[in-house]
């Protein structure tokens, strides 16, 4: 796992956007795995800027989002479909029909989850998957205890996640209790993983994910099993890492490292 400790949120967002843009430039029909939440907002802003100012072209790109709240239609202001339209899709030239977010209003979630997996497979798999991390160590909505082999499924959010996400709703009672989420197994099949975390509130979860044991109690720790995973942190989120100095040492010496 590559651990990149950035000076601040702006630097982290620009660095992560640079990786995503590099994937698109290298493969114009790239399949992007996208995340919602406050953490990737800076990354999306930077991608929008690159589209406007540098001609970063999304016309052949396909996207798959990690998750959606059960019960919220795409028009709902707090739905993740709405979030993606507002913060990225409407500001770049990705064809909307090539953007996929799980449905929060499926008639049969078993069928829907299976179809979502099939769509990812038919698209050729995900080239780069953007991830946030929950304060309970979740990736997507894979809460503690979720199988590391899980596929797209319906999950019950923890009370902590509901509390964390209540800031986006008028009151805590409005936060949905269930969600559709890609599974950990689904996420681990992406060819490249990019986890972003910012602020001291994430420091414990990040330390558990990066330096703790691989365990379903912190589903982000599954990144340790992935051959191409990078974690972009600011100083706050990196605050509890035992090997922080070593990660910085590696980054500082990267330009001179032999090609590998």
Active site residues: 67, 136, 138, 143
Distance (Å, whole) CA 163 – CA 157: 10
Q: How far is the CB of 130 from ligand PGA (least distance, A)?
A: 10
Cβ atoms of 232 and 6 closer than 8 Å = yes
Distance (Å, whole) CA 165 – CA 241: 25
Q: E strand or H helix at 4, and its extent? A: strand 2-6
Q: How far is the CB of 48 from ligand PGA (least distance, A)?
A: 18
Nearer to ligand PGA by Cβ, of 45 and 57: the residue is: 45
Q: How far is the CB of 93 from ligand PGA (least distance, A)?
A: 26
Q: How far is the CB of 237 from ligand PGA (least distance, A)?
A: 10
Which x/- pattern over 32-71 shows residues binding ligand PGA (rule: CB under 6 A)?
Answer: -----xxx--------------------------------
| CA distances (Å), origin 183, targets 67, 176, 205 | 10, 19, 19
Q: Which of 42, 104, 132, 137 binds ligand PGA (CB under 6 A)?
A: 132
Maximum Cα interatomic distance, the chain, rounded to a whole number of Å: 55
Residue 104: how many CB atoms within 10 A of its CB?
23
Strand ranges, E, within the chain: 2-6, 31-34, 62-65, 67-69, 99-100, 128-131, 153-156, 178-181, 193-197, 229-234
Q: Which of 31, 133, 179, 218 binds ligand PGA (CB under 6 A)?
A: 133
- Dihedral of the CA atoms 108, 191, 121, 107 (nearest 10)? 10
Q: How far is the CB of 64 from ligand PGA (least distance, A)?
A: 16
Distance (Å, whole) CA 195 – CA 230: 6
Find where tokens 């599954």 sit: 222
Q: Which residue is nearest to ligand PGA (CB)?
A: 37
Nearer to ligand PGA by Cβ, of 63 and 219: the residue is: 219
Nearer to ligand PGA by Cβ, of 38 and 118: the residue is: 38
Q: How many residues bind ligand PGA (CB under 6 A)?
A: 6
DSSP code, position 100: E
Q: Under the criterion CB under 6 A, does residue 137 sit at the interface with ligand PGA? A: no
Which x/- pattern over 90-129 shows residues binding ligand PGA (rule: CB under 6 A)?
Answer: ----------------------------------------
Q: Which residues bind ligand PGA (CB under 6 A)?
A: 37-39, 132-134
């Amino acid at each position: 796992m590559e651990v990149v400790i950035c000076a601040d949120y702006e630097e982290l967002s620009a660095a992560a956007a640079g990786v995503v843009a590099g994937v698109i430039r290298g493969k114009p029909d790239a399949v992007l795995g996208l995340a919602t939440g406050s953490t990737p907002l800076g990354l999306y802003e930077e991608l929008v800027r690159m589209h406007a100012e540098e001609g970063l072209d999304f016309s052949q790109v396909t996207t798959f989002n990690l998750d959606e709240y059960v019960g919220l239609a795409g028009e709902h202001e707090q739905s993740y479909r709405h979030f993606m339209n507002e913060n990225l899709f409407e500001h770049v030239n990705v064809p909307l029909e090539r953007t996929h977010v799980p449905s929060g209003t499926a008639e049969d979630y078993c069928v829907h989850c299976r179809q979502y997996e099939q769509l990812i497979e038919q698209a050729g798999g995900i080239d780069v998957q953007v991830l946030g991390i929950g304060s309970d160590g979740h990736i997507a909505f894979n809460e503690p205890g979720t199988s590391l082999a899980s596929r797209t499924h319906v999950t019950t959010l923890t009370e902590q996640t509901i509390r964390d996400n209540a800031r986006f709703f008028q009151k805590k009672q409005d936060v949905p209790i269930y969600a559709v989420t890609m599974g950990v197994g689904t996420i681990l099949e992406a060819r490249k993983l990019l986890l972003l975390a910012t602020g001291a509130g994430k420091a414990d979860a990040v330390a558990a994910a990066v330096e703790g044991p691989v365990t379903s109690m912190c589903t982000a720790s599954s990144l340790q099993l992935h051959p191409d995973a990078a974690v972009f942190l600011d100083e706050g989120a990196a605050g509890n890492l035992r090997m922080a100095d070593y990660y910085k040492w590696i980054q500082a010496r990267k330009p001179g490292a032999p090609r590998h």
